[in-house]
């Protein structure tokens, strides 16, 4: 049963990874996709290992399309899912769930910024200083909004889905 549900979460995450919503009109290259929500829900319901599978597998397809962006998305999705699912597994309460989502979102934002600062100059040819200049007006707000959206939708969806899948 768990394997089947994990496959369904992976399929949903893969489909959602192709939904790209630009959040900042001045930076249309930064697009939000809701796929991490599926990894977070799977991680909260079945634990960090299942969440990790759902966070990583859908991005394997994207590695052939846009390797660096997919790598950043995969690593940030993996880390937010592992941190959130692990913290929630310690005490499965609503308060702990909110705390886990907040801490996981913080880790996601910090990691996304660090990876962008490190990898963007390597694959775009843009200088490190130019990427640093993008942090405050674009990268930080985008990643904060992304983390808030992921956490909010996960919080709303988790209980109804957990009842549906028998968790």
Residues 84-112 pLDDT 10s: 999 999 999 999 999 999 999 999 999 99
**Sign of dihedral through CA atoms 59, 60, 66, 71?**
positive
CA angle 155-159-163, nearest 5°? 160
Q: How far does Cα 34 stand from its chain's mean position?
A: 8
Q: Which two tokens stand for residue 40?
A: 């977070």
Please tell me the predicted confidence (pLDDT) of residue 166: 72
Positions in the chain whose pLDDT score sits under 50: none
**Sign of dihedral through CA atoms 13, 95, 143, 119?**
negative
Let me know: does 106 contact 147? Beta carbons within 8 Å: yes
Please tell me the predicted confidence (pLDDT) of residue 167: 65
Please tell me the predicted confidence (pLDDT) of residue 106: 98
């Amino acid at each position: 049963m768990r394997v089947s549900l994990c496959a369904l979460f992976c399929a949903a995450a893969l489909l959602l990874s192709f939904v790209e919503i630009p959040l900042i009109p001045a930076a249309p290259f930064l697009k939000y996709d809701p796929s991490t929500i599926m990894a977070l829900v799977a991680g909260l319901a079945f634990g960090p290992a299942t969440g990790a599978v759902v966070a990583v597998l859908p991005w394997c397809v994207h590695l052939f399309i846009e390797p660096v962006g997919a790598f950043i998305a995969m690593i940030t999705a993996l880390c937010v899912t592992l941190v959130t699912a692990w913290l929630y597994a310690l005490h499965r309460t609503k308060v702990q769930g909110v705390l886990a989502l907040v801490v996981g979102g913080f880790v996601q934002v910090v990691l996304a910024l660090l990876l962008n600062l490190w990898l963007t100059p390597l694959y775009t040819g843009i200088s490190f200083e130019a990427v640093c200049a993008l942090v405050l007006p674009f990268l930080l707000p985008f990643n904060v909004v992304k983390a808030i959206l992921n956490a909010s939708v996960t919080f709303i969806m988790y209980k109804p889905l957990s009842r549906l899948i028998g968790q």
